Structure 1
Amino acid sequence: MRPTRKLLTLTGSALLLTGSVFLLPTTALAGVTAAVPCTEAALVSAVNAANAAGGGTITLTARCTYTLTSAHGDDGVNGPAGLPVITTPISFSGNANVVARSASAAPFRIAQVSSAGGLTLNAVTLTGGKATTVGHNNGGGVLNFGAVTLTGSALSGNNAVGLGGGIHSSGTAAAATFTSSTVRSNTAGQGAGIASAGATLTLTSSTVTLNAATTQPGGIYSSGTSTLNTTTVTANTPTNCVGSPNPVGGCVG
């Protein structure tokens, strides 16, 4: 006689994997954040939605390069940005992701962070940004008036006619924090890697290298407070940090 199979009603959801049933509470499924599709439009919409919600985390599609073909942010003062101006605390949760300005697009920086905003990058590279607007040509990758935090991320191949090819932080309320991150192969009039004008700069276990400026320093320009912990600043031209208005402790040459 065959055993009787009974179908039980489960309060939650069941996943059938290799013959086994795992129960996930319904509330756990509701908390899963879907990754933003690998398109420019989807990324721009996600930033707009996060701003409208007062901030949040944007999960990126793993290993996706989000290519920006036009500017989507402009505060009417500082020139165009590829992403909408970030006015709230927003985190990009990445996995080998790139946000890049298209080589055929008109010049614009990748991101601008307002004084009330915050941009956190985890495993994300920003590249190809160009800040060329006359009088507002600082910050090729990022123009920061708020808080920028990079972890396992990179600013690479960005350009600013003025200060800060990779990033320009401006004002005493602004802060940029790099951990296990790289600022590489950016160009600018001055401070091609990083420019921190009256702002706070902290680098830990990071690298600033191969950045090139017209006027020294090529690596890090700081007129605020800077702290380097186990960080390498090397092979920048015309100097790494010599010529910075304020000394950059731990930076040689």
Structure 2
Amino acid sequence: MRMHRTSLALAGSVLLATGAACLLPTAAQAGAAATVPCSETALIAAVNAANTAGGGTITLTNGCTYTLTSAHGNDGVNGPDGLPIITTPIALSGNANTITRSATAAAFRIAQVAASGGLTLNAVTLSGGNATTAGHNHGGGVLNFGAVTLTGSAINGNTAGGLGGAIYSSGAAAAATFTSSTVRSNTANQAAGIASAGATLTMTSSVVTLNTAATQPGGIYSSGTSTMTTTSVTANTPTNCVGSPQPVTGCVG
């Protein structure tokens, strides 16, 4: 009788252990970041969910181009944004991904980062943004009041009616950091590449090229702190950095 009870107890322990083993992978999967399907609707939903959750990593479908056909963010001051305004620390983890405004869509920039937010791009290109709201037309690709970090990424082919064809960072709390990234073929009234107004700009092993502005500088405008390491700023029009309120260390012409 004792042996029978012991066997039952052992069998119960095995079943419990087996059940726990079966449940653990499911729980782990539930906490993992799912890949966002290759659609505008899915990307917008993922950004909204990340903002609601207080931030997080959004994993993009390999090689997908997410085409935005309408604006999904607007603070009522700075004009429309393709993505919902980034109010928390959000990372877009990509693999040869592009987020672009449809050529037939109304004008809007790609993203706005609030002072409380952070946008990290890994292997992602932002393109086709167009900031044209009169008096609030800075940052064709990104308007940044918080933190923007690019690694192996690009902001190419965007337009601003004011400053910062690719990105406009504003305020002492704002920072833009580029590592092994590219800012190319953007246009603006001034600083078609990067405008850093009283903000911090850090560039390492990156390239700013072929950006065209109506007013110098065409490449980088800085009235804050800028640090350039093994970074090339070339072939921008009408100048690379000449005309910037503060000298951009390492930038010639």
* TM-score relative to the length of structure 1: 0.91
Does the 8 A contact of 1:208 with 1:233 survive in 2?
Answer: yes
- Larger radius of gyration, structure 1 or 2? 2
* 2:68 is equivalent to residue 50 of structure 1: no
Q: Distance in 2 between matches of 1:164 and 1:26?
A: 46
Alignment-derived partner of residue 142 in structure 2: 142
Cα pair distance change 1:75/1:98, threshold 3 Å: same
* 2:153 is equivalent to residue 153 of structure 1: yes
Name which of 21, 30, 35 aligns with 1:12: 21
Deviation at residue 34 of structure 1 after TM alignment = 1.4
* 2:189 is equivalent to residue 189 of structure 1: yes
| 1:171 aligned partner, one-letter code | G
| 1:113 aligned partner, one-letter code | V
Does the 8 A contact of 1:12 with 1:26 survive in 2?
Answer: no
* 2:177 is equivalent to residue 177 of structure 1: yes
User: Which runs of structure 2 are paired with 1:5-154 in the superposition (5 Å)?
Assistant: 10=18, 12=21, 25-154=25-154
Q: Distance in 2 between matches of 1:138 and 1:98?
A: 21
Deviation at residue 31 of structure 1 after TM alignment = 3.9
Q: Distance in 2 between matches of 1:54 and 1:222?
A: 31
CA RMSD of aligned residues (A): 1.5
| 1:47 aligned partner, one-letter code | V
Q: Matched residue of 2:81: which SS?
A: coil
* Moved >6 Å (runs of 4+): none
Q: Matched residue of 1:228: which SS?
A: strand
Q: Matched residue of 1:12: which SS?
A: helix
| 1:162 aligned partner, one-letter code | G
Does the 8 A contact of 1:198 with 1:223 survive in 2?
Answer: yes
Q: Distance in 1 between matches of 2:37 and 2:62?
A: 10
Does the 8 A contact of 1:86 with 1:113 survive in 2?
Answer: yes
Deviation at residue 29 of structure 1 after TM alignment = 3.3
% identity of equivalent residues: 78
Deviation at residue 238 of structure 1 after TM alignment = 0.4
Deviation at residue 33 of structure 1 after TM alignment = 2.0
Unaligned stretches of 5+ in structure 2? 1-13
Deviation at residue 28 of structure 1 after TM alignment = 4.0
Alignment-derived partner of residue 239 in structure 2: 239
Q: Distance in 2 between matches of 1:26 and 1:107?
A: 43
Deviation at residue 26 of structure 1 after TM alignment = 4.7
Equivalent pairs, count:
237
State the Cα deviation string for residues 25-49 of structure 1 (Å, max 9, x = none). 4554344321101110110011111
Q: Distance in 1 between matches of 2:121 and 2:55?
A: 14
Q: Matched residue of 1:70: which SS?
A: coil
Unaligned stretches of 5+ in structure 1? 1-7, 14-23
Does the 8 A contact of 1:212 with 1:218 survive in 2?
Answer: yes
* TM-score relative to the length of structure 2: 0.91
Q: Distance in 2 between matches of 1:191 and 1:134?
A: 17
Does the 8 A contact of 1:142 with 1:167 survive in 2?
Answer: yes
